[in-house]
Amino acid sequence: MNRSAPFQNILLRSPLIVLTCIVLLFTPSCENRKQEQKEIKAVWKNYTEAVGNAMGAESVRYIDSPTINYYAYILGLVKTADSLTVEGLRFDQKILVLSIRHITPAGKIMQMTGRSFFAYCIQNHMCGGNANDEYSLKILSVKDGVAMTQLIDSNKHPGLKVKFIKEDGNWKINLTSTLASVGEMGWKELIKESGKTERELLYLFIEKMNDTPPNNEIWHPLHT
C-alpha cells in the first residue's frame, strides 16, 4: 500500500498549495536580503557623510578590522621605515608615509594607534577620496557575511568595487580591497601622464598638504 498516495494526490489537485509553500519558504530570505542591502547602503551613506565632513572618529565606526590593521601597518612604516623601505612601497603608500612625516609632529605620531591614525588621515583629507556623494552604491552580491558593491558615478559609469564584511553583527567597509584594486599600474600611468619624475610628483602632492615644500628628512625614521 502506497501511504504517500493521498499526499501526492493533494499536491496534484492543489497546485496553489505548492505555490504557497514555495512563497513561504523563500519570502523570509528575500526579506533578509533586502534588509541587509538596506543596512549596507546606510553604512556607506554614514561613512561618506563622515568623510565629507572630515569627522575622523565617526568614520572609524564604519571600517572593518582588516582595514584598521592595514593602517596600523602604515603607521608602523611612518615611525620606523628607512629610505630604502619607503622606496619599495606602492606610490600611494609612499604619499601617505611621507606626508604624515611632513605635517605631523613626531611625538604625536608615536602616540597614535591604527584607529586614531585612520581618523587623523580622514581629518586631514589624506584618505577616503572616493567616499563622496558623487557616487551611488550598487550592490553586486551578498553572501555569508561578505558583500561586494561597486561605485557608480553620476553618468552611470561603474567605478571602484568596495567590499563589506559583517563583524559582530554589523556591516563594515573593507578598504584594503579597494586600495589593492587601484593597483600600481594606475599610479604609474598617472606619473607618466604628469610628465614628472616620481620624486617630483611625490613632492608636489606632499607640498599641497600644508603649502610647505618637504625636505629629505621625511625619508628617514622618526626621532623622538
Instruction: Report d(CA 207, CA 197) in Å as an integer.
Output: 15
pLDDT reported for residue 10: 45
Cβ atoms < 10 Å from Cβ of 2: 7
Q: Look at the block and give the residue holding cell 565629507.
A: 52
pLDDT at 135: 85
Interval 137-174: pLDDT, tens: 999 999 999 999 999 988 888 988 999 999 999 999 99
CA distance 160 to 152: 8
131, pLDDT greater than 80? no
Mean of pLDDT values over 72-98: 95
- Over residues 174-190, the pLDDT tens digits come to 998 777 766 565 777 88
Torsion-angle region of residue 16: left (phi > 0), alpha (psi -120 to 50) or beta?
alpha
In this prediction, residues 74-98 reach a mean pLDDT of: 94
User: Given this model, what pLDDT does residue 130 score?
Assistant: 63
CB contact at 8 A, 176 and 63: no
CATH architecture group of domain 18-219: Roll (3.10)
Torsional sign, CA 85, 90, 94, 97: negative
At 82, list the grid cell: 628607512
pLDDT of residue 164: 97
- Over residues 18-64, the pLDDT tens digits come to 555 544 444 546 778 889 999 999 999 999 999 999 999 999 999 99
CA angle 139, 71, 140 (to 5 degrees): 10
- Which residues, listed in sequence order, are joined to residue 213 by a DSSP beta bridge? none
Please answer whether residues 175 and 66 qualify as being in contact, where contact means their C-beta atoms are separated by less than 8 angstroms: no
Q: Which of 193, 165, 207, 203 is nearest to 69 (CA)?
A: 165
For the sheet containing 146-152, what is the strand order?
136-143, 146-152, 158-167, 170-174
